[in-house]
Structure 1
Amino acid sequence: MGESSSSAIPYDSLKDFINPIRIFGHPVRSVTSPAALDTAQSNHITFCTQTGEKALAAIARSRGGIVLCRDDLPNLEKKEILNCIFTVPNPRLSFMKCLQKFFAPERPVGIHPTAIIEKDVPVPDGVYIGPMAHLCSGVRLGEGAVIEDRVYIAPNTRIGKNVYIQVGAVIGCEGQGFERTATGEFEKFPQLGNVVIEDDVEIGANTTIIRGTLSATKIGRGSKIGHHVNIGHNAEIGRHVFISAGAIVCGSAQVGDCSWLAPKCCIRNKVFVGRNVTVGLGSVVVTDVPDGLTVVGVPSRVAKK
């Protein structure tokens, strides 16, 4: 990740990496950094996601050295262009890949001296464990995992390769499993399970993932979980799911692959959310949702197309 964060990136290196559909305008010798479209200068690479005449006007106003844009802009080839234009299928995606390749900082590696790592926790190659992080007995980390400051990882948690856990997250704490007695008092259900996080997952700051009651709470490969999210015991999150900040996934709920949960939404316990589902901002999902739907509201309902 990130070949360079300050030196100039040659034009040919960018062109070969991006592999644009078409090129217009005036090639630059190099660029030194990325920038937003409205603030970019001749030494910057930038992008435009707008369409039609709005896109053409925005590009005309920009002073960016290289601008990534859609290939279907009207009469693009007839415009007088002062910058260098690369047309691509998805400008934002191509720009993001450029950031990762040429500008993003390398992942950190090493163990901070204040980290607490219990004696039976092996640390594989390429791992970073930050200040005051605490890895309890039986934790297993995959290669390339990043555990930032003050992260707590409970016993027997399994974390895959290249997992990134941000500041203050709590992984595998005990859930609130209680049952009332005949006299109205609470009897505690000991939480004896664990958490399994597959490869390439990212977990935001101050997020809590509660361990399973008897088995595991599972987070599928490639899923991205935002800040201040709460995932209950025995929940199962599929692969490549995006869970936005402040969302709550209650105990034993299931979320299918490639679904998108908007900020502050809530999935009721034991509810099944299918594949490629979108859950709207602040929605409360209380019944199962089949594959491919968009649901919104409190309680949630299928959005009109």
Structure 2
Amino acid sequence: MTTTSGTTLWDISDPAAPRDLTRLPATATRRAFSPDGRRLVTTRSNEVQVWDVRDPAKPTEIARWPAHRGAVTTLRFSDDGTRLLTAGDSSDKDLALFDMTVLPKVEVRARFAGHTGGVADASFTSPNEALVSVGEDGRVIRWDLKSWGRPVAVANGVSGGPAIESAAFTADGRILATGGRGHDVTLWDMAEPRQPKKLAVIPGDRFVWGVAFSRDGRTLAIGYARAGVSLYDVEGPAHPKPAAESEETRRCRLPQIVADPRAMACAAAGGGFTREEWKKFVPDLPFEETCTP
């Protein structure tokens, strides 16, 4: 957890009674643990710091370096922990892959760019054969990582809309979720990387700060700026269904219901009636598409 006074490491082996272990000396704007939990990477402005946290009560700094000219906006480890992905704001508009096997030596394995604005987030597929980056320009770019040293853009989707701030893959890499300043979250079928297919749009009325899938890919968490978290059942990704939401989210939901009750009803139901369902439940009325994409 990060506050204005530093980054705190907690022992949560007992979730009901978390225990404060130690506090890192610097405030971090981004942070990520390595897959094995032995290292913690933090950022402050354009600088990356790597900490050895095998003894979490006594973390030690392993390395520190400037990753970009401007602020670091993203930190992601590869599944095996051997690579660290970072992204830069509008000062750089690029991404970088660092080799984590040679620390404290710092080696850049690749630096690549494709966005016309700052890169807001990026996400690896599993097992790290590709990654997707999203940014202020509204683009969703998929990069082929078959050659770690030369990532290649294989799909460049332009939304033409507001900035995209967050992206996340399911563990199998088939479904991608994106969200941002446009308030909505979009689910994409990535089975054909060069032709992503839009599966569903989860409507919202607030800035989407982050998206994340559960390990089994059945649940999607959406974090909103200053307005809590919502969980969606996405086992059928073309028809996401609300599963739970925080109290902050419920308090912010009423204006959205008043503004567009049909959209909210469609989101809650996961779609409108099929022709067969319409005939069964409202046979006296002519069929009408109530929930159009």
Give TM-score scaled by structure 1 length: 0.29
Give TM-score scaled by structure 2 length: 0.30
Higher relative contact order, chain-length normalized (CA < 8 Å, sep 6+): 1
Q: Which has the higher strand share?
A: 2
Larger radius of gyration: 1
